Amino acid sequence: MLFGIILNLQVLKMKHLVIIFLLVSIPLHTHSQGTRPQNVYRVTVTSRYVLEGFERTSRFFAVNQEIYDSLGRLHTEIDFDWETRYPNNYRWHYFDSLLKVRTEYYTDEMLDRRVVLEYTSDTLVARELHYRPVNGDTILTRTIDYSYNSGGLPLQKEALSDRGRRLYRSRIQYDDRGTEVRRRVNTGRGVPDDQIRRLDRETEYDSAGLLVSEKVSLRMTDRSRRVYSRNYNYDDNGNMTGMTEFDDKGNQLRRTEYVWQSGRNRLQRIITYDAGDNMEMYLAKRYEIYRTSDRRHRVIDY
């Protein structure tokens, strides 16, 4: 069922991505629910190394694949279970031309949910429609509408049930660098996926405008609180090379190193350490190119 391309389960690494929605709202443009590209051109393989005594061994196993077509569209993401090595979970992305209009999420090889995107006339995401499978069919469970400021940052996020009843509404404020510094969530019949009810963030930037430290205070929907701070380091290209997280008393919680490929400006390794500065995870990335449609000719893109 899995698309039939578990391409070379062998090596390497990972990168995080942030999705930002956009503009001050209205006209909605409903696109088709799109097609899923079949072409495989680029594959990014993230592998995790086996650790022994907080040291990296030479053994590793794939934990994620990102599969792109020749137009650069990320159409398939596959997660491999660390214990079984089996690709239980994956995401399929559907496109209308270059615009992503639908994502299907599979858990344990079964459809878990489907998210359809609607856009403004400027191709900015304005609405998400969330569906779940029920008795062999998929039904709408909630709709999330976004509104934005003139700089393209989301100011409000409102989730409604399938009957149009409000589940929750989030209101967001930013500093002059575009970083979220305040969020307030009014809950009704539901809560946001991240469970955050209140967020406050204090930020500090360097002379290049890069975020070098932040202090974050969270109040969750279950009324629990969390306070933490983070320090960040960067290379000359502005790539993040390190992040250290501390609790509210200044004790280290975790530290992460990011290693970038010289000359290509691509992430190569992510190494995470625990509160005692012991290595707890070592991820590496490999970039592959498949130049023929039969996928028999793989090139490692060093």
Of 18, 10, 93, 75, which is closest to residue 48 (Cα–Cα)? 10
The 3-state DSSP composition of the chain as helix, strand, coil percent (nearest 5) reads 0, 60, 40
Domain assignment present for residue 201? The answer is: yes
| The pairing of beta strand 166-174 with beta strand 154-161 | antiparallel
Domain assignment present for residue 172? The answer is: yes
Domain span holding position 175: 166-234
Q: C-alpha dihedral over 210, 212, 215, 216, to 10 degrees?
A: 50
Q: How far is Cα of residue 75 from the mean position of the Cα atoms in its chain? A: 14
pLDDT digits (tens, 9 = 90+) for 34-63: 898 888 999 999 999 999 999 999 999 999
Domain assignment present for residue 288? The answer is: no
Q: C-alpha dihedral over 56, 16, 167, 223, to 10 degrees?
A: 50
pLDDT digits (tens, 9 = 90+) for 180-222: 999 999 999 999 999 999 999 999 999 999 999 999 999 999 9
CA distance 154 to 66: 27
What's the Rg (C-alpha) of the chain? 21
CA distance 91 to 181: 31
Residue ranges in the chain whose pLDDT is less than 70: 1-32
Domain assignment present for residue 175? The answer is: yes
Strand-pair partners of 3:
none
Domain assignment present for residue 242? The answer is: no
Number of structural domains in the chain: 1
Domain assignment present for residue 42? The answer is: no
Are residues 260 and 236 in contact, defined by beta-carbon separation less than 8 angstroms? Answer: no
User: Encoding tokens for residue 16?
Assistant: 């995080």
The residue to which tokens 């992040």 are assigned? 243
Domain assignment present for residue 170? The answer is: yes
Domain assignment present for residue 154? The answer is: no
Question: Given this model, what pLDDT does residue 30 score?
Answer: 54
CA distance 111 to 215: 38
Question: Given this model, what pLDDT does residue 6 score?
Answer: 46
